[in-house]
Structure 1
């Protein structure tokens, strides 16, 4: 029988938080963003930060650890998966053929999430690059109701779908991180 890690948090103010409010990069003082687009972008930014926070301080083995067997899901797999889907979402904007997959065949994003520092570094670079490319592609659309691509998807739908994808996977990241080293928090 394997020993489970003890639950812990770095927060001292609120014991159910990941970090104290003064140390949390997602906390912002002042007014909320103006308008629908600003609100959507703010939520996406915060979920992206949450994923990074859940991965911070772990080595390659911990990031690649499949914490909930028989699942192939790992924190590193989530990073790779989100890089892959960011790339795919750009396909929604055009009528062109889809871009080639970053990691090859189906599920290679999770299957290829191996405990090698070079793979970790490349995966985070891939995620940053694909996020920036999708953000840049979407910046050209001022009307959130504009329908684009082969399926006539509204820009708003794509933005909301991105938030949903990150939110869902940040929930997975909560559990995966807790299984790795016991760290808990929002």
Structure 2
């Protein structure tokens, strides 16, 4: 039994498993971990940036990772390079991380979940050797899994620090 992340079990996918199950399991683990970092605090705290020199907030990380999901699974694997970004605004440095003054957590969370669900469907329809195109080169589903796992792991580390600075909670 794993931790809860808004109804989704978070289980470490260790032990003996096949490559696909391990890759899929670790990506799901990190998706659930991000949501755990965002649970149990107010919208205001999720939007706050406790490190003055950084644009990072928990809410902004959820938006960023929704964009990352869309980029790798839709633009690259589905080969839809012209698919519009969700929140990107070229006139704002650091978008989609900011600005967050007028954002709605429930709407953005629903968008994130929808994008993750789409990514799951795209992944399920491909083998690990199936490829998309990134920067004019082929990239395999296997490589996309590895990239997404490292992207979430890195940002979950940021989320750990943010959450500890916000309310002292560690180890979610």
Change (3 A) 1:69 1:159: same
**Higher normalized contact order (CA 8 Å, seq sep 6+, divided by chain length):** 1
Whole-angstrom CA distance in 2 between matches of 1:96 and 1:53: 31
Whole-angstrom CA distance in 2 between matches of 1:97 and 1:45: 25
Q: Which residue of 1 aligns with 2:125?
A: 140
Tell me by how many angstroms 1:99 deviates: 1.2
Change (3 A) 1:141 1:120: same
Whole-angstrom CA distance in 2 between matches of 1:95 and 1:140: 14
Tell me how large the CA RMSD over aligned residues is: 2.2
TM-score after normalising by structure 1: 0.78
Q: Which runs of 5+ in 2 are unaligned?
A: none
Tell me by how many angstroms 1:109 deviates: 1.3
Q: Which residue of 1 aligns with 2:166?
A: 180
Q: Which residue of 2 aligns with 1:64?
A: 47
Q: Describe how 1:1-186 pairs up with structure 2 within 5 A.
A: 25-27=9-11, 32=15, 34-89=17-72, 90-106=74-90, 107-114=94-101, 119-142=104-127, 144-149=128-133, 150-185=136-171
Change (3 A) 1:157 1:27: closer
